[in-house]
Amino acid sequence: MPLAGKRSATGWFATLMTLRVGEGFVLHRDEWKKKQSPLRTLRHIEKKYGWKFKDGKLADGTGWAVMRVG
């Protein structure tokens, strides 16, 4: 899975919108400053655009991994 560098909340949304099927990235917890989980934004994109993502927290709890699957 190709990984992207650091992203802001707006940059994270833009990165999600440019992902092709099979691409993904890791968002580290210290890069996310909002109260709500970034997966909330992910669900919004899934509903609005009909895309599918595979996502989850990293095993060590330091962030989230996201991959577009459809």
Per-residue pLDDT band for 20 (boundaries 50, 70, 90) equals very high
As a whole number of angstroms, the distance between CA 14 and CA 9 comes to: 9
pLDDT(6) > 70: no
Contact of 63 with 29, CB cutoff 8 Å: yes
The residue type of 31 is E
As a whole number of angstroms, the distance between CA 52 and CA 65 comes to: 14
pLDDT in tens, 35-65: 888 888 888 889 988 999 999 899 998 889 9
Per-residue pLDDT band for 9 (boundaries 50, 70, 90) equals low
pLDDT at 33: 80
pLDDT at 10: 66
- Best CA proximity match to 64, nearest among 19, 11, 28, 32: 28
Q: Show me where the domains of the chain are located.
A: 9-68
Six token digits for residue 12: 């994270």
